């Protein structure tokens, strides 16, 4: 946990967490935490460095980092291996430098007041240090469509958050941000090598990363869904540590046709790894949803987040202290959006050059966008990212954007403004690279930080090897013609190199989720939550969203998610009280059905 508060000596004494260390530093009073999970600390006459890393860092590494940050042109921490974040107070310049890695399971929040600044990975520490938690209503439309808010804005009024790979420099005398630097995704041209050489290099980088991590923890494990990404990591981890375990959970308690358990078990048998399946129940899921939001301090984005929180709790008897997860791979190696744009790139380029695509979009309008086969061609693919019909804004768009616009009486500009601002830092990248950037820095980043907080609440570290900065830099420098020879070509090729059978490599991709008819319809799992959320949102709107149509159901999920978060952090309702009411309502509904 990272916490730091800085305040001018002339101001009134400030609030701080009870376990924080207080000190005077030049013209400032500071309070900070040390010796917590992930944390490293160094203090010299020139400055103070606080940060978090995935493994214990020796003093030499910390000193090197401190020296590099203190340079006139500091080396960005996001290039470092296993370092998540840091805050550096430069005494001579009266400056604070904050940096967050793209390789991260941590959010980094900051609150800048008139004469003080508070930085923490945890909202609870901001509150203990005097920040009043209020909801920022202006970002609700974005959340309603995308299930999260793109940094720097957050759901908390006045509280900002760093983007992955971002570094800020703050002048402590004026309490103003004076410099902001975002991260570059590749360093230059690809070095032409054979396919085997490229694949060998990626495999070696993953092996080196996993070897360091596995050697730093007492009992590591793999979060194994049976998909390509997790199976590839599990194969390498099994090579490093023969007795490594894997685990998974599923929605089989709701959906009897769910194949997640089968995928995980067949992959673990192929790899000869002991695998633990963790079953849930409707009641345990509902309880875990509330507890997960409490631990994440934000709405939990994915439906499976509650299952993961429950899985983390049940890992305690196995004493697993590190979980290896494949999140982030799709955006780097190629997802469905990459495949479609690459497949039709020549056609899109030609139609854009002759104005045909623009005319086509105007003629068919948004009606065709809902057509699964042809709707793709109705979007904009050019450089005008301010267009609300740009293809980039369809990525991670879970709820229907028109429905949100109407239901919340908002505009496309309000829904998209944060995303447009994020992509302004990457104007010269190709559309394929932009898909990678928006995928990693929005949805994947949100998932990684939330799942990291859920793991931390259960004393487990979680790692995402595919998002190691060195791997991101290398893979994003490779040409798309190489990466998209087939869907997930690099990952499939790594598995083939490792002798994994075609049955595992070529089977259809599963989406780790649950069809909405099992949870969104009237009388189904979320009915107690829908009834309770009517205290915050229009009851008729909520009822209209209880649908098997996925984009309506996802808006229901988003609003329920917001309601639970708002109850806990804005209205200060305890998770225990929320769960008591939810379970009581669930029990009454079940008894009514059986009666």
pLDDT at 77: 45
Closest by CA to 47, choosing from 75, 64, 69, 31, is 69
Per-residue CA distances from 464 to 93, 220, 230 (Å): 36, 13, 10
List all residues 6 or more positions away from 421 whose beta carbon is below 8 Å from its beta carbon: 150
Per-residue CA distances from 27 to 24, 225, 566 (Å): 8, 53, 38
pLDDT at 24: 85
What gap in Å lies between CA 132 and CA 156, rounded to an integer? 9
Closest by CA to 271, choosing from 244, 253, 296, 251, is 244
**Ordered alpha helix ranges (H), 326-468:** 329-333, 336-343, 345-353, 356-364, 401-407, 412-423, 431-438, 445-456
Q: Residue 212 has which token pair?
A: 């360091």
Per-residue CA distances from 60 to 65, 67, 80, 86, 180 (Å): 9, 10, 14, 16, 28
The CATH classification of domain 3-181, taken from the options 1.10.3720.10, 3.40.50.2000, 3.90.230.10, 3.60.20.10: 3.60.20.10
Q: Report whether 246 contacts 270 (CB < 8 A).
A: no
Dihedral Cα 360, 364, 366, 370, nearest 10 deg: -100
Domains 3-181 and 196-395+421-514 share a fold: no
**Strand 322-324, strand 461-463: pairing:** parallel
Q: Report whether 332 contacts 206 (CB < 8 A).
A: no
Q: Report whether 466 contacts 328 (CB < 8 A).
A: yes
Q: Residue 333 has which token pair?
A: 């190696």
pLDDT, tens digit (0-9, with 9 covering 90-100), for 142-175: 999 999 999 999 999 999 999 998 999 999 999 9
pLDDT at 408: 94
Q: Report whether 454 contacts 293 (CB < 8 A).
A: no
**Strand 176-181, strand 109-112: pairing:** unpaired
pLDDT at 370: 54
CA 105 to chain centre: 8
Closest by CA to 84, choosing from 135, 50, 122, is 50
The CATH classification of domain 196-395+421-514, taken from the options 3.40.225.10, 3.40.50.620, 3.40.50.1820, 3.40.50.970: 3.40.50.620
What gap in Å lies between CA 246 and CA 252, rounded to an integer? 18
List all residues 6 or more positions away from 3 whose beta carbon is below 8 Å from its beta carbon: 17, 20, 31, 32, 33, 118, 119, 120, 121, 122, 125, 129
The domains of the chain are located at 3-181, 196-395+421-514, 516-594
pLDDT at 431: 94
CA 126 to chain centre: 21
DSSP state of 18: T
What gap in Å lies between CA 526 and CA 532, rounded to an integer? 10
**At 455, is the secondary structure helix, strand, or coil?**
helix
Show the low-confidence residues of the chain (pLDDT under 70): 35-38, 71-81, 187-191, 346-347, 349-375, 512, 594-595
Other beta carbons within 10 Å of 335: 18
**At 8, is the secondary structure helix, strand, or coil?**
strand
Instruction: Please state the length of the chain.
Output: 595
């Amino acid at each position: 946990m990272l916490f730091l508060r800085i305040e001018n000596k002339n101001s009134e004494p400030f609030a701080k967490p009870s376990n924080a260390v207080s000190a005077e530093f030049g013209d400032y009073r500071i309070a900070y935490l040390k010796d917590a999970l992930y944390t490293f600390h160094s203090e010299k006459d020139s400055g103070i460095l606080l940060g978090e890393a995935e493994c214990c860092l020796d003093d030499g590494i910390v000193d090197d980092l401190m020296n590099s940050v203190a340079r006139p042109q500091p080396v960005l921490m996001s290039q470092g291996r296993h370092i998540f974040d840091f805050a550096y107070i430069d005494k001579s310049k009266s400056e604070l430098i904050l940096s967050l890695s793209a390789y991260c399971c941590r959010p980094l929040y900051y609150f800048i007041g008139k004469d003080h600044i508070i930085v923490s990975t945890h909202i609870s520490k901001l509150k203990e240090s005097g920040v009043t938690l209020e909801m920022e209503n202006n970002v609700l439309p974005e959340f309603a469509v995308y299930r999260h808010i793109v940094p720097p804005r957050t759901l908390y009024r006045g509280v900002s958050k760093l983007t992955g790979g971002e570094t800020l420099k703050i002048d402590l005398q004026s309490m103003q941000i004076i410099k902001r630097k975002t991260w570059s995704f590749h360093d230059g041209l690809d070095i032409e090598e054979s396919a085997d050489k490229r694949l060998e290099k990626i495999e070696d980088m993953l092996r080196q990363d996993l070897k360091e991590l596995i050697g730093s923890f007492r009992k590591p494990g793999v979060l194994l869904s049976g998909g390509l990404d997790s199976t590839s990591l599990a194969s390498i981890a099994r090579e490093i540590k023969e007795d490594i375990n894997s685990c998974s959970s599923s929605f089989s308690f709701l959906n009897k046709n769910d194949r997640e358990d089968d995928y995980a078990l067949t992959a673990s048998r192929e790899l000869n790894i002991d695998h633990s399946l963790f079953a849930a129940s409707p009641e345990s899921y509902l309880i875990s949803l509330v507890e997960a939001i409490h631990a994440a301090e934000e709405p939990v984005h994915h439906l499976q987040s509650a299952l993961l929180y429950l899985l983390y709790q049940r890992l305690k008897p196995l004493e697993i202290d590190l979980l290896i997860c494949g999140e982030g791979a799709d955006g780097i190696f190629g997802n469905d959006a990459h495949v479609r744009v690459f497949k039709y790139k020549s056609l899109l380029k030609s139609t854009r050059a002759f104005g045909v695509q623009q005319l086509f979009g105007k003629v068919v309008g948004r009606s065709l966008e809902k057509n699964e086969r042809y709707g793709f061609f109705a979007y904009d693919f050019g450089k005008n990212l301010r267009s609300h019909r740009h293809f980039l804004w369809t990525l991670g768009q879970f709820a229907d954007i028109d429905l949100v616009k109407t239901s919340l009486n908002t505009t496309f500009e309000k829904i998209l403004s944060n995303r447009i601002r994020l992509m302004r830092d990457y104007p010269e990248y190709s559309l394929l690279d932009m898909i990678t950037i928006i995928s990693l820095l929005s949805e994947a980043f949100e998932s990684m930080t939330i799942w990291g907080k859920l793991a931390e609440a259960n004393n487990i570290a979680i790692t995402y090897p595919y998002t190691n900065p060195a791997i991101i830099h290398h893979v994003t420098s490779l040409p798309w013609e190489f990466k998209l020879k087939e869907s997930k070509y690099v990952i499939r090729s790594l598995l083939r190199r490792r002798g994994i059978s075609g049955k595992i490599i070529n089977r259809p991709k599963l989406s780790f989720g649950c069809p909405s008819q099992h949870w969104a319809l009237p009388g189904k799992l979320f009915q107690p939550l829908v009834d309770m959320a009517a205290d915050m949102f229009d009851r008729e709107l909520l009822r209209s969203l209880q649908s098997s149509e996925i984009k309506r159901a996802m808006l229901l999920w988003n609003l329920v998610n917001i309601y639970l978060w708002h109850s806990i952090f804005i209205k200060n309702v305890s998770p225990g009280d929320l769960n008591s009411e939810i379970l009581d309502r669930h029990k009454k509904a079940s008894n009514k059905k059986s009666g």
